[in-house]
Homo-oligomer: A and B are copies of this chain.
Amino acid sequence: MVEEEIMRNTRSKEPLLTEIATHAISSGGKRMRPGIALLSFRAVGGTDLKKTIMAAAAFELIHSATLVHDDINDGAETRRGSIAAYRKYGTQRALITGDFLFVRGFRLGGLLQSEDIVELVADACSQMAESEMLQTIIENDSGLPFDTYFRIITGKTAKPIEASAQVGAYIGGGSPDQIAGMGTYGLNIGLAFQIVDDILDIIGDESDLGKKRGMDVLDGKANLPLMIAMQGHYPNSARLREIYGKKEKTMEEVEEALRLVQATDAVDVARKHAEDLRIKALASLDVLPESEFKDALKALADTVLSRDR
């Protein structure tokens, strides 16, 4: 039903707009935000699905809008295993389609007619933009403080997942404690998700990922294992910082950087961080009564850690 709601909202009177919007939204996304919204809704005992489906679709539409724009900004070649929208249709048309998906997402969110929901969604989206902006400022900064890293991944990944969980619980009629607990769950799962993303960029299998490894190194993006391995007490950290700090890097340098990170325990240290966040997320589920939905939220937390794409 969420999928149908999403697809209804990608339709436009301009066939090319419908085509690009459909391309952007249907290329094998994980649908994590809708999934978490629905599970949170059910886990607090919600029964009236209609509003939750609208909210879940809104989160995915907005998420897809940001992905289309991110890919333009990052010069990404592929997204979710398919060619990035702007590569296939050109930057102009991708930019317009991103705006269109934003509009359709916010429309659905606005139709819920709840000040709380509008504020939650808008706050998450504002923080996404703030993080994206911060990311452009700290590019290639080999001395980036860890708290700046966490500020970036909170805004760009964790906040929208937190909002999905909160809105699901809110529409489901959850208590303030339950809504807050689901928010904590979403926030921590989101942080863990991004750290695993960072790890996959260092050691992932390119055919599983559907994209090239080492993109964070190449683009000078903040990446946790990389940042760990760039610390002074690590062997070869000076060479890593030298490569990472370059504005233009060759693919040989990127490969060298990946090998240098892989030669340390940085990936294990980063994974330990993600594991700690998973445990925090699970603890916050104590606000929920036992149910198959609570079990599914636990299982989802495991999947976030064990995923290979």
Contacts and interface: CB of A to CB of B under 8 A. Distances in A.
A244 interface: no
A309 interface: no
Contacts of A13: 127, 130
Interface in A61-83: 65-66, 69, 72-73
Interface in A225-279: none
Contacts of A12: 126, 129-130, 133
A111 interface: yes
Interface stretch (A90-98, A164-172, A189-197): A90-98
A137 interface: yes
B100 A129 contact: yes
Contact of A106 (B17, B122, B130, B133): B122
A291 to B, nearest CB: 31
A69 B266 CA distance: 40
Contacts of A121: 110
A37 interface: no
Nearest to A17: B133
Interface in A100-137: 100, 102-104, 106-107, 109-111, 113-115, 118-119, 121-122, 125-127, 129-130, 132-134, 136-137
Given A109-B110, A122-B104, A122-B110, A14 B133 contact: yes
A141 interface: no
B14 A92 contact: no
Nearest to A109: B110
Contact of A129 (B91, B99, B114, B126): B99
A16 interface: yes
Given A73-B92, A102-B99, A103-B122, A113 B114 contact: yes
Contacts of A97: 129, 133
A73 to B, nearest CB: 4
Given A16-B137, A113-B113, A114-B113, A73 B99 contact: no
A209 B115 CA distance: 41
Nearest to A126: B103
Interface of A: 12-14, 16-17, 65-66, 69, 72-73, 90-93, 95-100, 102-104, 106-107, 109-111, 113-115, 118-119, 121-122, 125-127, 129-130, 132-134, 136-137
